[in-house]
A = this chain, B = another copy of it.
Amino acid sequence: MLEWLKEPELNFPGQLEHGGFEHGVCVGQIQAKAGLTQSTVSEYLSILQRAGFIEAKRVGQWTYYKRNEGAFEALSKLIQSNL
């Protein structure tokens, strides 16, 4: 999912009908591509959000998720320095 969200336009063409990509991609799009149930995907995303790898923005009935690039940079640096 994290890799998919690097290129939302490429990986989630259906997102066009849901307000575009400004705020990210909504759960339904990710669910369809993942082939997992809605509940599973929703839980995954909330875990990734709590871990700081993605950000959520609720707009109306939709929740948009997008990557937080800073977190990946930080993880990479952490492995370099602490591990």
Contacts and interface: CB of A to CB of B under 8 A. Distances in A.
Interface of A: 2-3, 72-73, 75-77, 79-80, 82-83
Contact of A83 (B3, B80, B83): B3
A50 B3 CA distance: 25
9 closest cross-chain pairs (CB), A and B: A76-B79, A76-B80, A76-B76, A72-B83, A75-B79, A2-B83, A72-B79, A79-B79, A3-B83
Nearest to A82: B3
A2 to B, nearest CB: 6
Nearest to A80: B76
A34 B3 CA distance: 35
Contacts of A2: 83
